[in-house]
Amino acid sequence: MEDTLMSDKLLVNISGDIAVVTVNRPEVRNALDRETWNLLRSTIESLDENDAIRVIILTGAGDKAFIAGADINALRVRSVLETSESENSAISRAIENCRKPIIAAINGFCLGGGNEVAMCCDIRIASEKAKFGQTEINVGILPGAGGTQRLRNLVGKGVAMEMILTGDLISAQRAAEIGLVNRVVPQENLMDEVMAVAKKIAVKSPLTVKLAKRAIAKGEGLPIEVGLLLELLSQSVMFSADDHFEGLDAFLEKRDPKYTGK
């Protein structure tokens, strides 16, 4: 890694055009307290504004957990008013709306708020040892950072109901079967696999990647005619972009393209 930015609870390692963001609280299985939630938001927003970054990878420190939910001690003292004004849902939305692709490298327990964060990412790749769950009901609450909505959209109403109402954990293989993760790989290969996907995306036109991500994400839930119009408008933008002509020229000249994002 060429550059390392550190805080007590979050690490950012930048290598070329790929940033690896690591939740760094292994002593509590990378559980999210309020400070870490806000650090995550500000870090993702900062990377989103950095034109040198093309792909973001999000993972957890150690080999036990991606993010094992919210910090129980923090939940213990939160009032009703603080909960109603909680920024966690807004933070999840900010992660989801990042213009750069975010890949979740899920290396262990991915529970509660951790699963909600993972679902905000664009691609989810899991270690075979990972465990998933929307476990809030086990401590007398329900998902509060988008879990009821995003889980339903990803896996369907019935499976989401079962996961949220039972609070049961599922295996990485089951998560892949229901569409919660893209693929499952051996634990020792996880970061290599994730980095390989990140590098494939990083060499593509950043403008095309941004527009494609937006069309897929914003088209969800829209009438098909509206979604197709969004796609067509995005494609029309690309036909006037420098990256489009560079891609065509590189193909005809049998060379690698050099995209600028313009």
Q: Give catalytic residue positions.
A: 116, 136
What beta strand segments (E) does the chain contain? 3-6, 10-15, 18-23, 55-60, 65-68, 102-106, 109-111, 123-127, 131-133, 170-171, 183-185
Q: Which tokens in the block code for residue 191? A: 């970061």
Q: 71: closest CA among 94, 91, 88?
A: 88
Residue indicated by tokens 């080999």 = 63
Q: Which tokens in the block code for residue 247? A: 């891609």
Helix (H, G, I), strand (E, B) or coil at 229: helix
Beta-sheet pairing, 3-6 with 10-15: antiparallel
Calpha distance 109→114 (Å, rounded): 8
Do 33 and 72 meet the contact criterion of CB atoms below 8 Å apart? no
Q: Which tokens in the block code for residue 124? A: 């989810």
